[in-house]
Structure 1
Amino acid sequence: MESTLETPRTLADPTRRPLAIANWLLAVAGMVFLMVVVGGITRLTESGLSITEWKPITGAIPPLTHDQWQHAFDLYKATPEYREINGPAGMGLAQFKFIFFWEWVHRLIGRLIGLVFALPLLWFAWKRAIPQGYGWKLVALLILGGSQGALGWFMVQSGLVERTDVSHFRLSAHLLLALFIMAALIWTALDLRQLAKTGENRPSRLTRAGMFTAVILFIQLLLGAWVAGLNAGYVASDWPMMQGHLYPEGVDWSQGVLHAFTYDPYLLHFLHRWWAWVVVAALVIFARRVKPVDRRASKAIHNAFGTQILLGIATVMTGMNIVLAVLHQAVGALVVAAYTWGANVDGREKS
């Protein structure tokens, strides 16, 4: 396999197409971004548990007849979410079709990403068009994509038996892996674009400053995923105070510090709010570091986190307005993309 993907060729060989491969990877990254956005809609509409089976191939076709819809609805009726929440609320087949739609679209985009990645990869490999050193990276991205699908089902399973929602730990893993895949696609594409531009095969490397900033951003993304999974965004709708206090009332420390830091919605909401300013400081410093090398990447970082802060405040103050909440998740992904661009530029200069 490796010899097929990475047969050494000269840079002048016209069959090697780093720019075409880079554009393809950026298109796939755009699809992953779309999937993150639709995933946010799926979560906010409480649609994630509507499909109770994992059928990677046949599941691409939704129910088409009334009997098929009724069968899918009957399977959903066996879940705790329906028995304890939606059933008593009077959910009928029409309402079920609405939540089924969003989960189905979310899974369909995942299937399309798999095809859009795998088929061109086979084509480029067959044409021996993949530059040396990139074959294993593309295969690794393919494996990560498949793992994301399995992780998504693992997440859904956590809400089908004893819980009325999915585990916020599994939700965070699912979201963070999606963002990592998107970032890896962008990073690899930028390396290939640089190869096409200069003819030098010198992949960028993550610097210490880039790693430090990534850790700070990762913590905020993790906190955001936990806030989403625990519906902690609803515990306060004022800002900068929470329920009229800087530090919220209601934090439960009775089960220990670790439990509070991983389960308490008041504390996690509070941490997510204020860690955001640590992220802002880190990104400002990092963007200034990147600016002399690529002003566009620096501006992208500033624009992304600035918009994200405003959206976060607006989302809270509107009581988790669904449009703003979806935009908040979408721009969060753009912050990751902008950071990745800047980190690649920074690492390119140091490689």
Structure 2
Amino acid sequence: MAKRAIFEDVATTERAAPTGGVIDGARRGSRGAVKRWLMLLFALILLIIPVGGMTRLTDSGLSITEWNLVTGTVPPLSEAAWESEFEKYRAIPEYQLQNRGMEMSEFKFIYWWEWGHRQLGRVIGLVFIVGFLGLLAMRKIPPGWTPRVLIVGVGIGAQGAIGWWMVSSGLTGSMLDVASYRLATHLGGAFALLSLIAWYLLSLSRTSGELISARRLAEPRLMTIATVLIGLTFAQILMGALVAGIDAGRNYIDWPLMAGGFTPPGMWELEPVWRNLFENDGTVQFFHRMLGYVLFAAIVWAFFVGKRSANRKTAVVFHGILAMAVVQMVLGIVTVMNSSPWHLAILHQFGAIVLIALTVRARHRAKYPLPQSVRT
């Protein structure tokens, strides 16, 4: 056999540079398409929450007494149609016990708020259906993501059903508003959808390979803490919905006391006792305040734990949560001390959106830390 030189080339065939893993190569570009679609849904839900809040604050939610999914998209177009809608409203307790003598112009004002709220809900449903079917037809949904986005669709559909369940509670008997616990369920559903979509958007902002690599550096303790913060924030949002549902924020406008005492007078006067948790304005506002203190204390604790994270990009998220919590608490105090004017109430509600979004981001960051340099 002939001897071969040490530096002799053993092959001259050129190899193509690697272009990425199999996971990230499947349906390339599909993550971006789904992300843009979910961003639109996120923006629409972000919009409908304050619109729903204004619908409640203007006592407009019971102005439309029927649920017609298709024909309800067309508002009254003639005086006869307006009179027909007004006549239906005159038959419910809110008009008979509270708004008797209302003028047509006043009815039109509350009608347009509720109609706009329902139309925005329909738009959200339509954006989901068209987007999902289009992405499915173009094979633009990444592997494993079809069940995830379907959960969003189920949630949107459920919100429509819960919305009518909520409205129907105020159409009979002696109710002047919708049932507060149904309002809380409806608002809670919107915040749950917003949080879920936020999590999906954070995941879609990075490749599957990056997420798999990042998970090896996950911080389980911070994940648990962030989960606790999400739960407490969500519970506080539900309590806020109960406050809004019975206008509890417009009474007991002193702080830190309530009517001069730590607890409000007549805190357990309703029978049976459990009704006080939903219908007694002093009791509902008291627990909203107490849960706010608990949540703030938990956020301070999370801040001191989170700032010691080895990953500075993770630690900074907990700084943001604490800063927003301070703003939100001040907003809450100012709102109640001014008897909850609509502009402060809506601003306080928007603060809740920002706070829960930050807690969701904190949990995602703890589970999938962003890369940082060794020097950092």
* TM-score of the superposed pair, with normalisation by structure 2: 0.84
Q: What residue in structure 1 maps to residue 181 of structure 2?
A: 169
Q: Does 1:331 align with 2:351?
A: yes
Deviations 1:253-289 (A, max 9, x none): 4635433333322111111112212111222333455
Question: Out of 274, 281, 299, which is 2:290 matched to?
Answer: 274
Task: Give the match's secondary structure for 2:205.
Answer: helix
Does the CA-based 8 Å contact 2:314-2:369 persist in structure 1? Answer: no
Question: Out of 321, 325, 331, which is 1:311 matched to?
Answer: 331
Cα gap change, 1:276/1:111 in structure 2, threshold over 3 Å: closer, same or farther? Answer: same
Question: Out of 134, 137, 142, which is 2:153 matched to?
Answer: 142
Q: What residue in structure 1 maps to residue 46 of structure 2?
A: 33
Question: Structure 1 CA distance, aligned partners of 2:213 and 2:92?
Answer: 53
Q: What residue in structure 2 maps to residue 105 of structure 1?
A: 116
Which range is displaced more, 239-248 or 192-201? Answer: 192-201
Cα gap change, 1:347/1:253 in structure 2, threshold over 3 Å: closer, same or farther? Answer: farther
Q: Does 1:222 align with 2:233?
A: no
Deviations 1:40-61 (A, max 9, x none): 1000100000011111122122
Question: Structure 1 CA distance, aligned partners of 2:149 and 2:194?
Answer: 13
Query: Percent sequence identity over matched residues?
Result: 34
Question: Structure 2 CA distance, aligned partners of 1:33 and 1:213?
Answer: 21
Cα gap change, 1:199/1:226 in structure 2, threshold over 3 Å: closer, same or farther? Answer: closer
Aligned runs of 1:5-20 on 2, under 5 Å?
10-13=23-26, 15-20=28-33
Q: What residue in structure 2 maps to residue 4 of structure 1?
A: none
Task: Give the match's secondary structure for 1:308.
Answer: helix
Deviations 1:137-193 (A, max 9, x none): 101110110110010000000000111211111111000011000100111111111
Give the residue type in structure 2 aligned to 1:252.
W
Question: Structure 1 CA distance, aligned partners of 2:270 and 2:85?
Answer: 41
Does the CA-based 8 Å contact 1:19-1:196 persist in structure 2? Answer: no
Deviations 1:7-27 (A, max 9, x none): xx7422454421232232122
Q: What residue in structure 2 maps to residue 320 of structure 1?
A: 340
Give the residue type in structure 1 aligned to 2:247.
N
Give the residue type in structure 1 aligned to 2:327.
T
Q: What residue in structure 1 maps to residue 80 of structure 2?
A: 67
Cα gap change, 1:54/1:287 in structure 2, threshold over 3 Å: closer, same or farther? Answer: farther
Structure of larger gyration radius: 2
Question: Structure 2 CA distance, aligned partners of 1:202 and 1:349?
Answer: 6
Deviation at 1:290, TM superposition (A): 4.8
Question: Out of 176, 181, 187, which is 2:193 matched to?
Answer: 181
Q: What residue in structure 1 maps to residue 277 of structure 2?
A: 261
Does the CA-based 8 Å contact 1:15-1:127 persist in structure 2? Answer: no
Question: Structure 2 CA distance, aligned partners of 1:117 and 1:91?
Answer: 38
Question: Out of 227, 240, 250, which is 1:234 matched to?
Answer: 250
Does the CA-based 8 Å contact 1:28-1:116 persist in structure 2? Answer: yes
Give the residue type in structure 2 aligned to 1:127.
M
Does the CA-based 8 Å contact 1:16-1:128 persist in structure 2? Answer: no
Q: What residue in structure 2 maps to residue 115 of structure 1?
A: 126
Count of residue correspondences: 340
Question: Structure 2 CA distance, aligned partners of 1:37 and 1:244?
Answer: 32
Structure 1 residues without counterparts, runs of 5 or longer? 1-8
